[in-house]
Structure 1
Amino acid sequence: MLGLSKFARIAHKFAHQLQVQEQLGMQIADELCRITGTQDVAVNLNGEHHCMNSRGIRTSGTMTTFVTRGAFLGQPEIRAEFLHLVDHR
């Protein structure tokens, strides 16, 4: 079991590198697999892209990336339950 601070540390570890959000999600998922010793990992990453609301178009720049590993790939009911829980938090 991981505490919430561990998730934040993992995200910050990789977020300080210049990269696209999809790559960040994959790095977080891979690190969670390594730390927990399981391949059954799902990452729902919401990122606000400040370039969209601070320059030019001035609109909300929130994007969601969903990365899955293990059982979340092969079992749609597990994936659906995870997404349901994330949407209703």
Structure 2
Amino acid sequence: MAVDRERIALLVRDLLEAIGEDPDRPGLTQTPSRVADAYAEFFSGVGQDAAEPLQHTISVSRGPAPETSPSGAVMLRDILFRSTCEHHLLPFRGRAHIAYLPGERVVGLGALPKVVDVLAARPQVQERLGEQIADTIDHALAPRGVLVILDASHECVTMRGGRQPVATTVTVAARGEYVEPAARAELVALIGPGGA
């Protein structure tokens, strides 16, 4: 389903009037269409299949380089992401750290940020986002374990309410062998200070 830009523009115009602004004043005349374009980008993941980037897998045992089969986790750190909090429609942004312990299949590393991008481009809460990323990887690749750590700054915390400008939220989603904290301790150490 495509974002209805025309409807968003009309609603933004109504919103500007509701806060006491004049949507026809020079600085605001293009705001409704600009917000509509931004929302089309921010919410482009609605209705998209987050597992699609993981469709092209490589067999660990029969792949192009079976002698280099991973014996441990595959980790991609510091995947930058941005999303929109569904509670206040304010942005949150941060870093995702993803690790998985391959079973029979691996995926190109570029596929993992694409999964994050699709799932983050929806109205979200950070806790669910991490769980959805872990579930998508778990279902698509059938690994022995998955670990997703998100560290993000939320504008609903930094710009309103308690206004804590440097506060971040860290969430952990784990599947398989990484459900046990001791099993994921090495990965958390590899992420480094401030990453988890």
| TM-score category of the 2 structures, normalised to the smaller one | 0.7 to 0.9
How many residue pairs were aligned?
88
Q: Find 2:168's aligned residue among 62, 67, 81.
A: 62
Tell me, which stretches of 5 or more residues in structure 2 are unaligned?
Answer: 1-105
1:25 counterpart residue number: 130
TM-score for both structures, normalised by structure 1: 0.79
Q: Which 10-residue stretch deviates more, 2-11 or 20-29?
A: 2-11
Structure with larger Rg: 2
TM-score for both structures, normalised by structure 2: 0.40
Q: What amino acid is aligned across from residue 81 of structure 1 in structure 2?
A: E
Q: Which 10-residue stretch deviates more, 12-21 or 55-64?
A: 55-64
Separation in 1, partners of 2:140, 2:168: 28
RMSD between aligned residues: 2.2
1:72 counterpart residue number: 178
Deviation sequence 1:4-46 (CA, Å, 0-9, x none): 4322211111112222211110000011112322141000111
Q: Find 2:142's aligned residue among 37, 46, 51.
A: 37
Separation in 1, partners of 2:109, 2:153: 20
Separation in 2, partners of 1:31, 1:13: 11
Relative contact order (C-alpha < 8 Å, sep 6+): which is higher? 1
What percentage of residue pairs aligned between the two structures are identical? 33
Separation in 2, partners of 1:61, 1:49: 8
Please state which structure has a larger fraction of its residues in strand. Answer: 2
Tell me, which stretches of 5 or more residues in structure 1 are unaligned?
Answer: none
Contact 1:42–1:67 under 8 Å retained in 2: yes
Q: What amino acid is aligned across from residue 129 of structure 2 in structure 1?
A: L
